[in-house]
Chains A and B, each alone.
Chain A
């Protein structure tokens, strides 16, 4: 089983759609959770951290379920500019020098 698993997609959605990405992680000792965004041929950039209580940043909502070891990202009112690959990221347990474990990414394509 992979340490971080995501649906690879691609997700093809029209502008204005709501889209949800799911992610599971294998080690219950992980403490930090993130969503990163990576545009084509660019570096990954932090989209948002994910907190136990859930958090929202504009059109983006992240949720964490520790009991199920499940993380989600919801994007409302999709824009063309949201087209990218979204990476689910958790920290390696026992804080191994700040090591992060990256999922393979879910590709999103928003069409006019």
Chain B
């Protein structure tokens, strides 16, 4: 089974703090993604990566950055957390080949509260 692991289920941070959200996948997937999900707004793509050290902006990259130094790990960074970044953050990965090409597998999510 594909496993996507996010480092924290719940996180509480203060405004202005630097926040790191970590995501690790164990299926050697090429693609990795970070989303946030808010009530009434659905899933919104923040950043994605199709290879090590490669990154692409999604629909709402402002206030975020990412890092992909190893294939299995994709980190989301909030340089200076703000209250409007309180949300559920979901990481996903997918393969570019095979029977499950393009199927995204999600981690359990990190519920971040910025106070």
Contacts and interface: CB of A to CB of B under 8 A. Distances in A.
Interface of A: 32, 34, 42-46, 49, 87, 91, 96-100, 102-105
Contacts of B106: 43-45
A99 B101 contact: no
B43 A97 contact: no
A32, A87, A98, A105, most chain B CB atoms within 10 A: A98
Contact of B90 (A43, A91, A104, A105): A43
A99 B42 contact: no
B75 interface: no
Contacts, number: 49
Contacts of B103: 34, 46, 49
Contacts of B30: 98
A103 B42 contact: yes
A42 B88 CA distance: 10
A43 B109 contact: yes
Contacts of B31: 97-98
Interface in B98-115: 101-109
Contacts of A103: 42
Contacts of A104: 41-42
B43 A98 contact: no
B43 A44 contact: yes
B94 to A, nearest CB: 5
A50 to B, nearest CB: 12
Contacts of A102: 42-43
A97 B48 contact: yes
Nearest to B111: A41
